[in-house]
């Protein structure tokens, strides 16, 4: 069974990984697991309280297919937990690693964006992390996947979902229909 682990912190951005986890679990039978620092309950930006299944510090990267970092305002503060070790461990084991919005800051801090094409919330957004991948940054409004690393701006939860699912082998015609359904909202009326 495909397993997706999503890392959440206090003030996580509810909408950013919801399409991924809901579609993967409901339509594809994937196992969705949520982790937080110390396994403690976290509260989203909208006020949703989540009691995660696991602690980030004890994650077993052998037992997952994708490790996803949900965005949220905490990642921009001095209170952000250091999750670099688990991100590097997942990458070293060949697992898909993904970050959306402020979650991309953590991938940059861990050095995972130094050698792959990637995106985030805008040109220069990742510069404060001191990462060495600026030349590989793509200023695009959709998710980017390169060598099993997926990144997206916070405004791209649907393409983020699609790229993660394709990269772990869950992409098919049904996924394309689901993406088209979400994209229809953004088309101009005829």
* HEC profile of 66-80: EEEECCEHHHHCCCC
DSSP secondary structure letter of residue 188: P
CA-wise closest residue to 9 among 107, 85, 77: 77
- Number of structural domains (the chain) is 1
H or E segment and range at residue 164: helix 157-167
Query: Which CATH number do you get for residue 79?
Result: 3.40.50.880
Residue matched to tokens 């999750």: 83
Which residue range is the domain that position 136 belongs to? 3-186
Q: What is the pLDDT along the chain (190 residues), one digit of tens a residue?
A: 999 999 999 999 999 999 999 999 998 999 999 999 999 999 999 999 999 999 999 999 999 999 999 999 999 999 999 999 999 999 999 999 999 999 999 999 999 999 999 999 999 999 999 999 999 999 999 999 999 999 999 999 999 999 999 999 998 788 888 888 888 877 776 6
Q: Are 31 and 63 in contact (CB under 8 A)?
A: no
Tokens for 40?
Answer: 């403690």
Local structure of 175: helix, strand or coil: helix
């Amino acid at each position: 069974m495909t397993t997706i682990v999503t890392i959440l912190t206090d003030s996580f951005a509810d909408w950013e990984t919801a399409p991924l986890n809901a579609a993967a679990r409901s339509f594809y039978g994937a196992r969705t697991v949520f982790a937080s620092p110390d396994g403690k309950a976290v509260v989203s930006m909208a006020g949703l309280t989540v009691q995660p299944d696991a602690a980030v510090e004890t994650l077993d990267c052998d037992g997952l297919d994708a490790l996803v970092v949900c965005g949220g305002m905490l990642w921009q503060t001095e209170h952000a937990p250091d999750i670099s070790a688990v991100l590097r461990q997942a990458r070293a084991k060949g697992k898909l690693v993904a970050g959306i919005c402020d979650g991309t800051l953590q991938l940059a801090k861990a050095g995972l964006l130094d050698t792959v094409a990637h995106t985030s919330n805008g040109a220069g957004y990742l510069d404060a992390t001191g990462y060495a991948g600026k030349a590989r940054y793509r200023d695009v409004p959709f998710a980017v996947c390169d060598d099993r690393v997926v990144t997206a701006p916070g405004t791209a939860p649907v393409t983020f979902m699609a790229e993660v699912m394709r990269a772990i082998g869950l992409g098919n015609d049904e996924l394309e229909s689901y993406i088209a359904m979400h994209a229809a909202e953004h088309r101009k009326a005829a």
